Structure 1
Amino acid sequence: MSWNPDGPGRRRSAMTTDPTEVQLLAALRAGDRGAAETLVAASYRTIYASLYRLCGGDGELAADLTQEAYRRAWASLGRFQGEARFVTWVYRIAYNAFLNHVRRPRRLVPLDDEAPVTDPGPDLEEELLLGRESDRLRRAVLALPEDLRFTVTARFWGERSVADIADGEGITPAAVRKRLKKALHLLALALEEDSP
């Protein structure tokens, strides 16, 4: 870690050192479609799973946002300097795509036909309770300040390591842990206030 004049807790990120990733990125920049497929195959599951959680279990929306994240990544590949791992960089792009989606005004689509009502079955109540808890947590996470929200979603929903988050955000691992501690405290308070 080196000193950064941008302020305490900030650091200059180490360049990615994974030789395979460096080679794949060089091949991708040279137009190798196979390199793109390899990079996507290595990171898609992580990106999609994170967006799936952020989208409240809406698989179609998560898939659309994942595709948008990769489209944006390819479009801005020239600006990627390897300051973080590729998956961490794409995660940040995906997270921003999600935020843009959330901020976008919604269009209401009229429902022409009513969906058929099915027998809910014995586990419906349990599923509804789990769904409500999941929705409460999602709302609480989305209400966090931006820096804390990104850190929490990257760590727990994106399954990114503290070191990856630190590299991607240009801060120290200690600063990431501090953000996580503060975010978890705020989440506990929010969920306590929102409890039935």
Structure 2
Amino acid sequence: MVEQELIRSAQSGDRDALIQLLREIESHVYRTAYYILGNEQDAMDAAQEALIRIYTKIDSFEEKARFKTWVQRIVTNICIDKFRRNKPTVSIDEHNLTFTSDHSVEDEVVAAYVSQDVRDAINKLSDHYRAVVVLRYLQDFSYNEISESLGLPLNTVKSYLFRARQQLQVLLQDYLKGGVGG
């Protein structure tokens, strides 16, 4: 079934369509939760909460928005709320920020340190800045999709990304100068 048909069927009470829809999005929901929270258990809890909320609120979804952005808005808001409550130490999934090299073991060791330092720098951003960075650079969302997902005006999204990049430049200044961070 096409996504729109699944959504309409789910909204009209077709439980199988709703379950199929949830299965199609669960890995994306978990991945977003993990990127924001950086902890597997917290991400699983947030993803489960998001899926339950989607399950119970599917009838409130309006087709004027894209389903993907509606889902991301739900999971992102849950993660931000969870992050504010718990203030955990956050790390970003290594698989998406790893710098690899075919040159030598030394190059790979340096790349691993750079990758860790980039993750650490992202983790130091405020929750809103981290959310826009995750959605833009790790989830490949457009500015408009981020705006819809977070319920923020487009100019606010642009401003947050600009400020987040500025903060990342400061945090990663040793790399920008050609040195090694740490």
TM range (shorter): 0.5 to 0.7
* Corresponding residue number in structure 2 for 1:33: 15
Q: Which moved more, 1:43-52 or 1:184-193?
A: 184-193
Of 37, 42, 58, the residue aligned with 2:24 is 42
- Aligned CA distance change for structure 1 residues 181 and 39 (closer, same or farther; 3 Å): same
- Aligned CA distance change for structure 1 residues 138 and 191 (closer, same or farther; 3 Å): same
* Corresponding residue number in structure 2 for 1:118: none
Identity %: 25
Asked whether the 8 Å contact 1:136–1:191 carries over to 2, the reply is no
Alignment coverage as a number of residue pairs = 156
Task: Report whether the alignment pairs 1:150 with 2:131.
Answer: yes
- Aligned CA distance change for structure 1 residues 161 and 98 (closer, same or farther; 3 Å): same
* Corresponding residue number in structure 2 for 1:102: 83
Unaligned ranges ≥5, structure 1: 1-18, 107-125
Asked whether the 8 Å contact 1:51–1:94 carries over to 2, the reply is yes
- Aligned CA distance change for structure 1 residues 176 and 138 (closer, same or farther; 3 Å): closer
Q: Distance in 2 between matches of 1:138 and 1:65?
A: 20
Asked whether the 8 Å contact 2:10–2:17 carries over to 1, the reply is yes
Three-state SS of the structure 2 residue aligned to 1:159 is: coil
Decide which structure has greater helix share.
Answer: 2
Measure how far apart 1:187 and its partner are.
2.1
Asked whether the 8 Å contact 2:10–2:18 carries over to 1, the reply is yes
Unaligned ranges ≥5, structure 2: 88-108, 175-180
* Corresponding residue number in structure 1 for 2:6: 24
Measure how far apart 1:68 and its partner are.
0.7
- Aligned CA distance change for structure 1 residues 71 and 100 (closer, same or farther; 3 Å): same
Higher Rg: 1
Q: Distance in 1 between matches of 2:152 and 2:80?
A: 20
CA offsets, 1:137-179, max 9 Å, x none? 23223x26x3x4432221223332334224444645x775554
Written as runs of structure 1 = structure 2, the 5 A alignment for 1:49-128 is 49-56=31-38, 58-105=39-86, 126=109
CA offsets, 1:102-146, max 9 Å, x none? 22258xxxxxxxxxxxxxxxxxxx5984675255223223x26x3
Q: Structure with the greater relative contact order (CA < 8 A, sep ≥ 6): 1 or 2?
A: 1
Asked whether the 8 Å contact 1:151–1:176 carries over to 2, the reply is yes
Letter of the 2:66 counterpart: R
Q: Distance in 1 between matches of 2:131 and 2:86?
A: 22
Three-state SS of the structure 2 residue aligned to 1:37 is: helix
